[in-house]
Amino acid sequence: MRAVVAWLLLVLLSAEAPAYLPPAHLLAKRIAESHDPAKLVLAKVGVYRAGETASDADSLLWEEHALIPLQGTPRSPERWPGLSILLESDPARLMEGLRRFGLAVVPETALLRHPLEKVRAMKDPPRPFYLPDPSMSFQRVGKRMAWVSTSADGARSLWVEKDSFFPIKLQGPCPASVEEISWANSSDLPCELLYESVTGLQNARGGKVSLLVRRNGQNLIRFRINRVFLNPAPELATEARAKDKEEKAERLFTSVFLN
């Protein structure tokens, strides 16, 4: 009987124990440090009308060559840091890009329980090391658990798989370009950019990266990254810039979501 009671208490305590929530700046740091260093990326991107269900085939709309400077700083919240989260290797640039998107990435110094100099001199430093980050939460996505960084107004968020630090999705107000999609149902709900087949940059080189734009449960646009060059050779960059001028009219979605 005692063994049963002890087991039950253990289960209840485990269920109630608060999950560790890394601060948003540490989340961004770990994501960036898992990527190969790069300042410029050349990606061949297929843009598809996404099938309504998993069994429906996608329809290719066009392919384009995207030459993307990884600065981690979309020019406005209208531009989503979709590729920066996948490829940016500089933590400071990624943090700045997330802030410009609207997320509340609090600087490390603002969350330290004590100044670093004082902590280094302590025999028993405080645990946890940081104060709680009010922008962070812990939520379930299907069968996965996610660390979620949210903007102050709750309108924008980044969901990252617990422990693996793989991005799951970005969420925010739909860009104006989404309203130009003829098959999109009218809705005031936010858009989601889902990282469907992403396990790191090596898979991007293998052509396995897939990003889905969705709103109110409706699949809208799917990006398939077929090939990625980090810091491409000058001749490849020049060729891509020439193609970029030809394809500019078709940049309706990639120029917004893939920054």
pLDDT of residue 232: 72
Rounded Cα distance between 29 and 73, Å, is 15
* pLDDT for 249 beyond 50: no
- Confidence at residue 8, expressed as pLDDT on a 0 to 100 scale: 32
Cα–Cα distance for residue pair 141/159, rounded to 1 Å: 9
Q: How far apart are the first and last CA of the chain?
A: 60
pLDDT at 160: 96
Task: Report the candidate in 170, 148, 155 with the shortest Cα–Cα distance to residue 74.
Answer: 170
- Reply yes or no: is the peptide bond before residue 128 cis, omega within 30 of 0: yes
Q: What mean pLDDT do residues 233-248 have? A: 66
Q: Cβ(254)–Cβ(232) under 8 Å?
A: no
- Contact present, 20 and 128 (Cβ < 8 Å): yes
From CA 153, how far away is CA 167, in angstroms rounded?
21
pLDDT, mean of residues 31-60: 83
Contacts of 77 (CB under 8 A, 6+ apart): 100, 101, 102, 156, 172
User: Do 88 and 94 meet the contact criterion of CB atoms below 8 Å apart?
Assistant: yes
| pLDDT(58) > 70 | yes
pLDDT confidence tier of residue 155, bands split at 50, 70 and 90: very high
Q: Based on C-alpha coordinates, what's the Rg of the chain?
A: 21
Nearest of 145, 226, 214 to residue 185 by alpha carbon: 214
| Better pLDDT: 39 or 82 | 82
CB atoms closer than 10 angstroms to residue 134: 13
SS3 16: helix
Q: Is the pLDDT of residue 256 over 60?
A: yes
Q: Taking the model in full, what pTM does it have?
A: 0.81
Q: How far is it, in rounded angstroms, from Cα 116 to Cα 93?
A: 23
Q: Check residues 5 and 231 and name the one with the higher pLDDT.
A: 231
Domain boundaries, the chain: 19-257
Does position 137 have pLDDT exceeding 50, yes or no? yes
